[in-house]
Structure 1
Amino acid sequence: MAVATDKLTPLKSAVAGLNQISGEAQQVEWSKIQTPTDEVVVPYDSLAPIPEDPAETKKLLDKLVVLKLNGGLGTTMGCTGPKSVIENLNSKYGCNVPLLLMNSFNTHDDTQKIIEKYSKSNVEIHTFNQSQYPRLVLEDFTPLPSKGQTGKDGCAAEILSHLIKNKNEYCMEVTPKTLADVKGGTLISYEGKVQLLEIAQVPDKHVNEFKSIEKFKIFNTNNLWVSLSAIKRLVEADALKMEIFLTQRYCFQEVDGVKVLQLETAAGAAIRFFDHAIGINVPRSRFLPVKATSDLLLVQSDLYTLVDGYVIQNKARKNPANPSIELGCQLLSRFKSIPSIVELDSLKVTGDVWFGTGVTLKGKVSIAAKPGVKLEIPDGAVMENKDVNGPEDL
């Protein structure tokens, strides 16, 4: 579905009006965009190692609070991952790193029930609700009724040490962009300041250039480090003015059969308000998003193991990059067990496909069931560089 530009004109005017209240929406002049230097986006490998003295490391960690976005997927998966990491740090260094969970109004009650069982752990867990904008009915831009509803991995001490030493009030972790990340926001130098550039801000004629991995080589991982005292200063001065974005992808969203749009603010866009703000170009190993079943298959497979809350890639994998996986509408319930994918380069699955136990996938594998045909991959099957269109190909 595509939405005509003139259809969105009234909404864009409304968003512009909201931005006059909440924050000035910047009209980016493409010619002024500059590639950030290594002083603005610091290479991860250049960071000084953490102090060898555990007491010095404890001093660093005592300044740290970890905040995790805890939306619907976060609640489904529980909060044991970040809690395990922090628990290990607190035990190892005798520090006190609290965990804050930023809930949506839909996940708050469920989260409160989940964290009750962690009340006796050595991690303080606090929760609060994120801000929210109403969904808008696409047909007439009226607010969608809420129907009565109201209201290494994680802690890298090297980054923390660098930020404290250099008095950086804000840091965004970025990572090298691949063709799978072309829509992610990127950092730019603009009129002497570091700034986040989102695809929603890009003029139509420059969208393909924005998606290019030649010009924009990094993208935002949404791992953000922010000085709490700096936030306090900006909030008290009413200086943290955030733009409101109209994100086109919500043109495809439906709620109870009603086509809706949703407005957003990007936390990363706050970078331009802070003093000595920087990015740090981290390796892909610090960025492992789970937004789809294909992402979940990756982290549940033998490609990764969980050690003290850290997700570690299997050393047996020779290629440092993750395999490309496209499951279409496949659900993980179609897998009796997660296949071995240590030697997999790419997997594409379409149609009614079911996996047995102990399946091994290597190289490039494509499985496409014909319409109306249920295709079952037998237990123990080993598939390497194979195209499968029916039982005869197995």
Structure 2
Amino acid sequence: MTIHSAVIQKLLRTNAHLGRRVAENHFKIYTYGSRNGLTIIDSDKTLVCLRSACNFIGHLASQNARFLFVNTNPVVDEIIEQMIINTGCKNDTSWRLGGFLTNRFSPKRFRSRNQKFNLTSVNRPDCVVIFDTERKSSVILEATRLQIPIVGLVDPSMPLETFKKITYPKKLAAAKGNVVKEVEPKIGEAALPAGTIKIDGVNDELTVLSYKGLSPASDDPTEIKELLEKLVVVKINDNKGTKMGFDGPKSAIEIANGLTSLDLLANYIEVLNSKYGCNVPLLLMNDDSTHDETLKIVEKQSNKNIICLVKDQHQENDVKIAFDQREALLSLKKSGKLDDLLSQGKEFILMLNSDNLAEVVDLNILNHVIKNKIKYCMEIEERFRIATTMNTWVNINTIANHPETKLFGPPIAVTIPVSQNLPVEDTSDLLIFKSDLYTCDKGILIRNEARINPANPIIELGPEFEKVADFESRFKSIPSIIDLDILKVSGDVWFGSGVILKGLVSINARPGEKIVIPDGAVLDNKSIDDQQDLSE
């Protein structure tokens, strides 16, 4: 079972997918509908929102930002207190007084129309985290007025006006009883230290190694060639782009310079082989829905060592590995391709489950798994337990000797830098990778050194940009985002050419209205609610 599946199961066990009542219209895109008067929330989308919020909070925490935790639910008081102790964040209770930030909502007799001042004794926070948003709308209004980003748990019954003010809404049912205590490990868990941990769904303990603790691979090209000659890269290519409105494999979506993620991967492997004089083959494990379209893409790469196979569809599963991985491995075994790889001297498979646009073959990890005869190794992002690159290293001999059950002994994991994981999940990611923030070089995307902030911008595009075709039509050209921190776009918004976005930019077109960002516009820490705001 993957970590993704384990977290989804935790969400389901805690009833995080059950809303209190039928959802408001704006919330329905995050649901599967309703049953018996209760909204069924999409746990996959909840997990995506949770990861985005954790990434944002983690980035702020790395810069020693100030947080304000707001909660009126006694069920989670103990969890919040423990989190504050573990993270070293200060928890001030002055938010309980109306007007704690702006004095805007204090009684009229305590304020003047001509003079408003800050009543609170604490410094202005960099982020407000709200655990019970429906009871603290005044906090949301004040933080919004000061343009302080808000992270909060939201319920399907939340009004649209309040929902739009939350920078990172996490779609969960409101906490009741002891339910929240079951998800306590997810709160405040920012770092994944080296050692041994236990993951739900995995029978064996998972030994986690720090990437920095790995012995570096040799710089000698001859020794690097010997390592690479033992490797084969397998890409699980069964994801369709339906979620992004794309009729075909997700790997066929254009990323940069007319190249798809599959083109970039093939070019990267070719550069690797050419540089070291080795022969690392690329195997594409398709399913019936992606095989034909993938063959058309591969025809353009006829000069490269690319092999396409169709996965077997098995119903059984091994708890130690993802279902798609097991299908791919058993397909290699049954097709005879595994024996061919062994006869060519191949020892390890690097299995890619996502469309990672970063450099995927890490020589230090390859050197470690070969020298230590590791049977199974997974890559995990160094900042969060729930985030994983979905890249795994598998010993081929293990598959050949134990093809059906108990494929591996105790697994290990290596924490890798976040910069080594550049997946394409939605059109917000496309905006980042198509922009001037990245350039394509030798099959991988290289980050623009002109950007000072080590983290990528946080981008949230509305449903009008959800489909690839709509996304491309709404941008005359992709804006410059080198100095952008946060972008939120909702409604009928269109971008001209040569637009530059900086700082925190929010563009919200009201229903029935249209906002057109003119050619050459520079939006620097700007909030746009109608066309007239652009002329100010």
**Does residue 292 of structure 1 match 2:426?**
yes
Which residue is 2:132 aligned to? none
Q: Select the residue among 357, 366, 373 that pairs with 2:513.
A: 373
State the shift of 1:36 in Å.
Answer: 7.0
Question: What amino acid is the match of 2:311?
Answer: Q
CA contact (8 A) 1:42 1:281 kept: yes
Q: Using the TM superposition, give the Cα deviation of residue 3 of structure 1 relative to its aligned residue in structure 2, in angstroms.
A: 5.1
Say if 2:303 is the partner of 1:120: yes
**8 Å Cα contact 1:168/1:276 also seen in 2:** no
Amino acid at match of 1:76: I
Larger Rg over CA atoms: 2
Give the conservation status (yes or no) of the 8 Å contact 1:368–1:389.
Answer: yes
* Corresponding residue for residue 371 of structure 2: 165
1:58 corresponds in structure 2 to 225
Q: Which residue of 2 aligns with 1:221?
A: 389
Equivalent runs, 1:26-37 vs 2, <5 Å = 37=194
Q: Show the 5 A alignment for 1:134-173.
A: 153-173=359-379
Which of these residues, 296, 309, 312, is aligned with residue 443 of structure 2?
309
Partner SS for 1:52: coil
> 2:212 aligns to what?
45
2:208 maps to amino acid: V
CA distance in 2, matches of 1:36, 1:362: 35
Partner of 1:143: none
Distance 1:2 1:323 in 2: 34
Q: 1:130 aligned to 2:311? A: yes
Query: Deviation per CA, 1:139-184, whole angstroms, max 9, x where unpaired?
Result: xxxxxxxxxxxxx51111111001111111111111145xxxxxxx
Measured in 2, the distance between the counterparts of 1:277 and 1:354 equals 49
Question: Is this contact kept in 2: 1:367–1:388, CA < 8 A?
Answer: yes
Structure 1 residue 31: deviation in Å? 12
**CA contact under 8 A between 1:351 and 1:368: conserved in structure 2?**
yes
In structure 2, what is the equivalent of residue 74 of structure 1? 251
SS at match of 2:512: coil
**Displacement of 1:374:** 1.4
1:12-31 pair list within 5 angstroms: none
1:12-43 CA distances to partner (integer Å, 9 max, x unpaired)? Answer: xxxxxxxxxxxxxxxxx99999x874362212
Question: What TM-score, normalized to structure 2?
Answer: 0.49
- TM-score of the aligned structures, taking structure 1 as reference length: 0.66
CA distance in 1, matches of 2:35, 2:234: 36
**1:174/1:280 contact within 8 Å kept:** yes
Query: Contact (CA 8 Å) 1:294, 1:327: kept in 2 or not?
Result: yes
Contact 2:505 2:525 in 1 (8 A): yes
Q: Which residue of 1 aligns with 2:94?
A: none
Tell me the matched-pair count: 283
Runs of 5+ unmatched residues, structure 1: 9-28, 135-151, 178-215, 241-272
Q: What CA distance in whole angstroms lies between the structure 2 residues aligned with 1:280 and 1:369?
A: 44
SS in 2 for 1:320: coil
RCO higher in 1 or 2 (8 Å CA, sep ≥ 6)? 1
Find the residue that maps to 2:402 and give its secondary structure.
helix
CA drift at 1:304: 1.0
Structure 2 residue 276 is matched with structure 1 residue 93: yes
Residue deviations 1:265-289, cap 9 Å, x none? xxxxxxxx52352111111111111
Could you say what secondary structure the match of 2:453 adopts?
coil
**Compared with structure 1, are the counterparts of its residues 31 and 110 closer, same or farther at alpha carbon in structure 2 (3 Å cutoff)?**
closer
Alignment match of 2:501 (pick from 344, 361, 371):
361
- TM-superposed CA distance for 1:5, in Å, is 12
Segments of 4+ moved more than 4 angstroms:
2-6, 29-33, 131-134
Equivalent positions of 1:272-351 (< 5 A) are 273-329=407-463, 330=465, 331-351=471-491
Match status 1:233 vs 2:401: yes
Deviation at 1:305, TM superposition (A): 1.3
Flag the structure with higher strand content: 1
Residues 83, 4 of structure 1: CA spacing in aligned structure 2 closer, same or farther, 3 A cutoff? farther
Relative to structure 1, the CA distance from residue 389 to residue 46 in structure 2 (aligned partners, 3 Å threshold; closer, same or farther) is same
Matches of 1:133 and 1:388, distance apart in 2: 51
Cα root mean square deviation, aligned: 2.9
- Fraction of identical pairs, as percent: 49
Which residue of the partner structure matches residue 198 of structure 1? none
Give the aligned residue type for 1:128. Answer: L
